[in-house]
Chains A and B, each alone.
Chain A
Amino acid sequence: MKRKFFEKTYLLTLILFLVFLNVSIVALCIFTFNSNLSATEDSCIAENYAIMQAFENDAIGLGSESGVLLQISYGDFYAEKGIYLRFEEKGQETFSSIPAGVTIPAVNTVESTKADDTYYTVITRVTKDGRYTVTYAKDISYLYSEFRGMAIAFIALSVLASLSLAILLYFILLKLYAPLSKLRAVAGNIADGDFSTRADESGGDELSVLAKDFNRMADKINMQMNELKAVATQRQRMLDDLAHEMRTPLTVIHGYAEYIAGANISREEQIDASGSIMQEAMRLKSISEILLDDAFIREGKISFERIDTGELLNGVAKRYTVQLKDKNIEIYVSPDAGGAVSGDKILLELLLSNLTDNAIKACKNGGTVELGALYEDGVSIIYVRDNGIGMTDEELKHIKEPFYRADKSRSRRNGGTGLGLSLCETIAKAHGTELSFSSKKGEGTIAYVRLGKSYKTITN
C-alpha cells in the first residue's frame, strides 16, 4: 500500500524543521562573528588610544629631533605584537611598518580591511598637537580563522542534527500512524465481509474516538446483517416447511387418484377415496389462503378503532355455540369482560376464532372454553382459556412456529394447517403486541394478548 499521507506529513515536517534549524544556525554564526568583530574593533580602539597617549608623551619628552627614531622604535616594538604603525608628519610619511596594499583610511575612522589574505583593523588618528598623523593597523586574521572553525563545527552539527531528526521523526510518525494503519486494516477486513474484526480503541486521542465510532458502525452493520440473515433463514425454513407440508397432501391426492383410476373398487370406496382427495385439496387451499392473509396483514396498514370487548367476544362465542352442543363442550364469555380496546375488529375476530378453534380442539368431552378480558393500567388483556389437554413447556416453545403441531396426527385429522397460531402472531404483531401462552399438561391452556386502550394507528 502507498502511504502517501504518511510520506507527505514526514517530508513536510522534515523540510520545515531543517530549514528552521539551518537558518537559525547561519544567523547564529553571523551574529557571533559580528559581535566578535565589533568587540575586537573596540579593543583596537582602546589599544590605539593607549599607543597614541604614550607616543605623544614620549614625543614631547624627547623633543622633535628624535621624532623619526621614536617612530622607528615604536614601529619595531609593536610589529612584534602584530600591530603595525605609520607616521605622517606635515602630510609626509615618515615611517611605516604597515604592509603594502592596506588602504589607509581617513582621519578618525575605524576600518576593517583585507590585504594579501590577511585581515586588519585600521585606525587613523592625529596627535593632540596636530603634528603627527598616526595610522594603526592590527592583524585580526585569527578572528576569521576562528569563524571558519566555528562554521565547520556548526555545519557538522547541523548535518548530524538533521540526520538524527530525519530518523527520529520517521519512527515517531510511524508510531503515531500505527493506529491509523491498523484502523485501515480493520476497515479492509470489514469491506471484505469479515464483520467480526474490531479496531483497537486504546489511546484516548482522536484516532481512538475514530476507532470507537468505527466499531460502533461495524457493530451496527453486523447487527443488521445478522437480522437480515435471521429473516432470510426464517423465510427459507418457512419455505422448506411449506414444501414438506405440501408433500403429504400431494402424496395423498396422487395416491388416491391413482387408486380410483386403477383399482377395481366399489362405489363406496370410490366415494371414500375422493373424500380424502377433497379434504387434502381443501387443506392446500387453506394453507394458501392463510399464507396470503398473513402476507396481507404483514404488509398492510391496519386501522385502529374503538372496539367493545364484550361485543367482540360474544360475537365469536356465538358462532361456536350450536356446533359445540353435540360435542358436549361449553363455551361462555366471562361476565366482567365488558370494556373497550383499540384494534382492527376483523383481524381481532380472526385471531380469537383461531384461538377458540385451538381451545375446542384441546378439549375433551365435557370441557369448557372461556373467552374473557381483564383491564389494568390502561392495558387490556383478552384471553381464551380451556381446560383441555394442555401443553408441555417444550411444546409451548415451538407453538408459534409455522407448521408446528403439538399433536401432529390429531391436528391433521381435524383439518389443521399448522399455520393458525403463526397467523395469530402476525395479527398480534400488527397490533404492536404479541401472543402469549400459559399452559400445564393435562390442566388446560390460556392464550392471551395485551392490547392498548388508546386510539392509535400503527404503520407496520
Chain B
Amino acid sequence: MANILVVEDEFDINRLICKNLTLTGHKCKSAYDGIEALKIINDEKPELIILDVMLPGLTGFELIEYAGNIPVIFVTARAGLEDKLKGLKLGADDYIVKPFEMQELLARVSTVLRRVKRENTVFSFDDITIDFDKRFVCRDGVEIKLTPKEYDLLETLILNRNIALTRDRLLNLVWNIDFDGDTRTVDIHIQQLRKKLGLKNRIVSLYKIGYRFEL
C-alpha cells in the first residue's frame, strides 16, 4: 500500500518492523545508518519514514531535515519528554518509544498514512468494498449496515491483517477497555461480521490466541 523506509541501526528490530509492515501490505526498505538512509530518501522518495533517533552517521533529528514533506514517525529508546517534543517540533508526525508492540506501530503507521491521504481510503477484497473515510461497507454493490463497534472491529482486523490479535488486544483497540474484560463481547461481534459479510474463511480463529484476518 505504501513504500516505507525503516531507518533503525538495530538489525533485528529493523527486520522485525519490515516483516510486520510487509505482512500488512506495505513495501519496505531498510537502512541501518544515517548516510544510507539519506541516499534512499533522495533516490527513492519513500512515502513514510520510520526513523530511529540514535543512528550512526547522521542522527534521526538531523535526518528529518532532509525528509521534506515525507511523513516521519520517530522510533527511539529515549523516553524523555524533551526528546519527544524536539522530535515533534522538527516536524515528526508521530513518536513511538521502544519497547513497543507491533500493533501499536502498525496503528500509527496507518493513522499517519491516512492523515496525509497516502493510504487508499477505499479498500476492496473479494466482493467487499470498504470506504474508510465514509465508514461505508458494501458487498456486491449493496450497502451492509454495521454497528459502530462492528465497523471498528472490521477496520482493526484489516489494518492488522495477517497478524494474530488476541481478544484482550481487540478489546483494547476497539472498545478501549484496558483490562481482561468480557472477551465474549469480541466473539459475538466477530460472529456478526462473519455472518453479515461472509468472512468465515477470512477471519480465522486461532486456538488459545484469538483471531487473524487473512488476505
Contacts and interface: CB of A to CB of B under 8 A. Distances in A.
Q: Do A and B come from one complex?
A: yes
Interface of A: 244, 247-248, 250-252, 254-256, 258-259, 261-264, 269, 276, 279-280, 407-409, 412-413
B58 interface: no
Given A264-B162, A264-B214, A248 B13 contact: yes
B99 A251 contact: yes
A259 B102 contact: yes
A256 B11 CA distance: 13
A255 B16 contact: yes
A263 B16 CA distance: 12
Given A264-B212, A409-B11, A247 B99 contact: yes
Given A248-B13, A408-B9, A413-B11, A263 B98 contact: no
22 contacts: A247-B77, A248-B10, A251-B99, A252-B12, A252-B13, A255-B13, A258-B102, A259-B20, A261-B209, A262-B212, A263-B19, A263-B20, A263-B23, A263-B162, A264-B214, A276-B12, A276-B15, A280-B12, A407-B56, A408-B56, A409-B9, A409-B33
Nearest to A255: B16
A255 B106 CA distance: 13
Contacts of B13: 248, 251-252, 255
Given A247-B77, A250-B99, A251-B13, 11 more contacts: A248-B98, A252-B13, A259-B16, A259-B19, A259-B20, A262-B206, A263-B164, A408-B9, A408-B56, A409-B56, A413-B11
Nearest to B11: A413
Interface string B1-22: 0000000011111011001100
Contacts of B102: 255, 258-259
A252 to B, nearest CB: 4
A248 B165 CA distance: 23
Interface string B184-208: 0000000000000000000000100
Contacts of A264: 162, 212, 214
A255 B163 CA distance: 12
A248 B19 CA distance: 17
Which of the listed residues A251, A280, A407 has the most CB atoms from chain B within 10 Å of its own CB?
A251
B144 to A, nearest CB: 26
Contacts of A407: 56
Contacts of B164: 261-263
Nearest to B12: A252
B100 interface: yes
Chain B, interface SS category: loop
Contacts of A276: 12, 15-16
B43 interface: no
A276 B33 CA distance: 20
B118 to A, nearest CB: 24
Nearest to A246: B99
A269 B102 CA distance: 17
Contacts of A269: 19
A263 B18 CA distance: 13
A408 B53 CA distance: 14
Which 10 pairs from chain A and chain B are nearest by CB?
A: A262-B164, A251-B99, A252-B12, A409-B9, A255-B16, A276-B12, A262-B163, A409-B32, A248-B10, A247-B77
B101 interface: yes
Nearest to B166: A262
Contacts of A251: 13, 98-100
A296 to B, nearest CB: 29
Contact of B16 (A256, A279, A408): A256
Contacts of A255: 13, 16, 20, 102
Nearest to A258: B102
Nearest to A280: B12
A269 B22 CA distance: 13
A250 B15 CA distance: 15
A126 B165 CA distance: 152
Contacts of A261: 164, 209
Nearest to B17: A255
Contacts of B9: 408-409
Contact of B10 (A252, A256, A262, A263): A252
Interface in B121-166: 162-165
A204 B138 CA distance: 100
Contacts of B206: 262
A124 B163 CA distance: 148
A418 to B, nearest CB: 13
A248 B77 contact: yes
Contacts of B10: 248, 252, 409, 412
Nearest to A260: B164
Contacts of B212: 262, 264
B77 A263 contact: no
Contacts of B162: 263-264
Contacts of A258: 101-102
Given A263-B163, A263-B164, A407-B56, A412 B98 contact: no
